Amino acid sequence: MEEKKIEIKVDEGVALGQYSNLAAIRHSREEFIFDFAFLFPDGPMGKLVARLILSPAHVKRFLGALEGNVGRYEENFGPITPSEAPPPVGFIH
């Protein structure tokens, strides 16, 4: 069977990416919600920069891909040392 190649169009704004220094994860039976935020270093404020909603099956594939990439990163550059956790945060609208 011939493998199909999928082409994905990327808008310039999305291609530039967003920096996040905080992530929060919630889930229900049907979905996982990943909130990525930027906490400002000079004050007790932050801004939500992206929210991704994934199915449980996709989260499982994402977890495997993330574990594999972290393993390869540490093989090339050494162990990643986690920094201390940020203070608790709440989201406002």
pLDDT value at 42 more than 80 = yes
For residues 86 and 64, is the Cβ–Cβ distance under 8 A? no
- Domain chopping of the chain, boundaries: 19-77
- The Cα–Cα gap between 70 and 76 comes to 10
Q: What is the pTM of this model?
A: 0.81
Pure H helices in 1-55: 12-15
- The Cα–Cα gap between 48 and 11 comes to 20
pLDDT value at 43 more than 80 = no
Q: Provide the sign of the torsion angle of the four alpha carbons 51, 54, 58, 61, taken in this order.
A: positive
3-36: per-residue pLDDT in tens? 899 999 999 989 999 999 999 999 999 999 999 9
Token duo for residue 79: 């162990």
* Other beta carbons less than 10 A from residue 37's beta carbon: 19
Predicted confidence at residue 67, as pLDDT, reads 98
**Which class would CATH give 19-77?**
mainly beta
48-89: per-residue pLDDT in tens? 999 999 999 999 999 999 999 999 999 999 999 988 877 777
Predicted confidence at residue 41, as pLDDT, reads 85
